[in-house]
């Protein structure tokens, strides 16, 4: 890892096209000066043209979000998977001329970054049962590796980090209009009670996960899926990587999940008790997402990308969505296995 002597930048204000190109060229590449910003807000991700070669993807990490150890642990996980021919896209490991070391995390002008091969693709068709079956097979392979040992430095998906802390940040920083504060406090308290109960009943195994396996982080090509963006990888229950593949009414989700698990269980055993966590994890994600937007609201990119956030309409709809989730938490879990 080639670190310069400057402190990490506090924000992205100095990350202009020249800095991006200079960072990539510092690793021995020659850019053709074409830089295309890709759809990423937590980090900054760019396609950078390379002379006489295919473009590279440069990912600049949000300052101070992850430690170097946490980033490298994510790199090691995706590389471990790729070495087993599991279709993930790991970072490039490059030998540094000045040190002779081969690294995947680099420094330039106060920013940490990594490089990736460019892979195209489209979102998987989640109504296509064959796609779901194949996704399940690869998720089973990923989790079979994830079970071998936990992350040592990356966090664990927890009720505290996904409900309690986001709720407190929203309240402490006055994001809610006064008329919605009592309703928000009450509904989140009710959801918290139900989520804690679900976890107590299940007590899931905690394994290494992709962590954010929504369809936007899966590229479907002719040869099948490629899993990208392990930036949110963490320890957690296996169902966290599966429930975001489901949509529609409960009976539709049951059909979809049967296909996913049919493929999954060819490579990895699944604990049926975790079906009881699906709505709990969905509730946690909804609360966490609002807290994430609140925490990032001082980043100029966020008001531009999410202009609907932090309006009276948003908070009214958010509370209504949480009420719907509270009802869903009280419904029976999906029935996937024969009774």
- pLDDT band, residue 99 (cuts 50/70/90): confident
Residues 239 and 281 in one domain: yes
- The catalytic residue positions are 212, 229
Domain containing residue 211: 129-329
Residues 266 and 146 in one domain: yes
Is 156 contained in some domain? yes
Is 6 contained in some domain? no
Q: What CATH number did the domain enclosing 106 receive?
A: 3.30.200.20
Tell me what the mean pLDDT of segment 285-308 comes to: 97
pLDDT of residue 158: 97
User: For the chain, what percent of residues have pLDDT higher than 70?
Assistant: 98
pLDDT of residue 339: 61
Residues 211 and 316 in one domain: yes
Tell me what the mean pLDDT of segment 140-156 comes to: 98
Residues 184 and 52 in one domain: no
Residues in the chain, overall count = 339
Q: What is the 3-state secondary structure (H, E, C) of 54-72?
A: CCEEEEECCCCCCCHHHHH
DSSP state of 160: I
Residues 234 and 299 in one domain: yes
Residues 136 and 97 in one domain: no
Is 83 contained in some domain? yes
pLDDT of residue 5: 40
Spell out the alpha helix ranges (H) of the chain.
Answer: 17-25, 68-83, 129-146, 159, 165-172, 181-202, 250-264, 278-295, 301-305, 312-329
Is 7 contained in some domain? no
Q: What CATH number did the domain enclosing 157 receive?
A: 1.10.510.10
Q: For residues 3-41, b (16+ Cβ closer than 10 Å) or e, as one string?
A: eeeeeebeebeebeeebbbebbebbebebeeebeeeeeb
Last residue of a domain, one of 117, 150, 169: 117
Residues 109 and 136 in one domain: no
Tell me what the mean pLDDT of segment 112-131 comes to: 92
Residues 173 and 260 in one domain: yes
Is 145 contained in some domain? yes
Is 3 contained in some domain? no
Residues 150 and 292 in one domain: yes
Q: How many domains in the chain?
A: 2
Tell me what the mean pLDDT of segment 59-76 comes to: 97
Tell me how far apart the alpha carbons of residues 174 and 201 are, in angstroms, rounded to a whole number.
35
Tell me what the mean pLDDT of segment 5-30 comes to: 91
Is 219 contained in some domain? yes
- Find out whether 91 and 104 touch, Cβ atoms under 8 Å: yes
pLDDT: which is higher, 6 or 314: 314
Q: For residues 148-183, b (16+ Cβ closer than 10 Å) or e, as one string?
A: eeebeebeebbbeebbebbbeebeeeebbeeebeeb
pLDDT of residue 3: 45
Which residues are 31's β-sheet partners?
50
Summarised one tens digit per residue, pLDDT across range 183-228 is 999 999 999 999 999 999 998 999 999 999 999 999 998 888 999 9
CA atoms within 13 A of residue 197's CA, in its CB half-sphere = 10
Last residue of a domain, one of 79, 95, 117: 117
Is 124 contained in some domain? no
Residues 299 and 319 in one domain: yes
Q: How do beta strands 235-236 and 207-208 pair?
A: antiparallel
pLDDT of residue 46: 98
Tell me what the mean pLDDT of segment 101-116 comes to: 96
Residues 164 and 285 in one domain: yes
Residues 28 and 161 in one domain: no
Last residue of a domain, one of 93, 117, 141: 117
């Amino acid at each position: 890892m080639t670190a310069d002597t400057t402190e990490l930048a506090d924000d992205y204000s100095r990350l202009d096209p020249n800095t991006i190109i200079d960072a990539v060229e510092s690793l021995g590449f020659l850019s053709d000066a074409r830089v295309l910003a890709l759809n990423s807000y937590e980090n900054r991700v760019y396609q950078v043209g390379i002379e006489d070669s295919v473009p590279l993807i440069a990912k600049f990490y949000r300052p101070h979000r992850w430690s170097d150890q946490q980033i490298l642990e994510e790199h090691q996980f995706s590389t471990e998977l790729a070495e087993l021919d599991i279709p993930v896209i790991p970072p490039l490991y490059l030998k540094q001329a000045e040190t002779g070391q081969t690294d995947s995390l680099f420094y330039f002008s106060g920013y940490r970054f990594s490089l990736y091969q460019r892979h195209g693709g489209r979102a998987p068709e989640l109504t296509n049962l064959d796609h779901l079956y194949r996704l399940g097979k690869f998720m089973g392979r990923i989790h079979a590796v994830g079970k071998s040992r936990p992350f040592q430095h990356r966090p664990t998906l927890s009720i505290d980090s996904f409900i309690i802390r986001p709720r407190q940040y929203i309240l402490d920083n006055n994001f809610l209009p006064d008329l919605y504060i009592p309703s928000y406090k009450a509904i989140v308290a009710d959801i918290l009670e139900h989520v804690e109960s679900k976890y107590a009943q299940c007590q899931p195994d905690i394994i290494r996960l992709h962590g954010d396996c929504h369809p936007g982080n899966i590229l479907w090509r002719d040869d099948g899926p490629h899993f990208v963006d392990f930036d949110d990888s963490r320890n957690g229950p296996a169902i966290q990587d599966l429930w975001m593949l489901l949509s529609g009414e409960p009976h539709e989700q049951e059909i979809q999940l049967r296909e996913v698990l049919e493929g999954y269980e060819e490579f990895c055993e699944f604990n049926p008790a975790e079906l009881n966590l699906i709505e709990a994890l969905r509730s946690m994600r909804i609360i966490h997402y609002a807290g994430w937007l609140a925490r990032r609201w001082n980043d100029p990119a966020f008001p531009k990308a999410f202009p609907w956030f932090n309006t009276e309409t948003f908070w009214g709809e958010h509370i209504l969505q949480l009420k719907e989730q509270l009802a869903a938490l009280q419904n029976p879990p999906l029935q996937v296995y024969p009774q």
